[in-house]
Amino acid sequence: MKATDEIKKEFLDAEPTEELIKTNDIKKGDIFVETNGWFGEMIDNMKGNIRLANIHGLFTEMGSVYAWDIAQVCKNGKIYDVELTPKQEKDKERCSLFGNIW
């Protein structure tokens, strides 16, 4: 697990790009920023709506992250905006009806 300062430095040193990345293309070790501004490091190679990550917020903790809560990804020295699949868009809308209670 990388330290919070390392995560932030790696992300801030990366070059922004206009390209989009799908959440299913995010792999173990990729750095990301959530929609709430917290940094994270992906620790699984799974696909789908829920991913496992180390989150660097008020505390550093490991937990589940919804795919639609990932705003930008740092991969190979570039920063990509995230593009959701049509199914993820639909699931995001369905989840918002319940206020993300689960």
User: pLDDT of 4-55, one tens digit each?
Assistant: 899 989 998 999 999 999 999 999 999 999 999 999 999 999 999 999 999 9
Q: What is the pTM of this model?
A: 0.89
User: pLDDT of 47-65, one tens digit each?
Assistant: 999 999 999 988 999 999 9
3-state secondary structure of 62: strand
Is 29 within 8 Å of 42 (Cβ atoms)?
Answer: yes
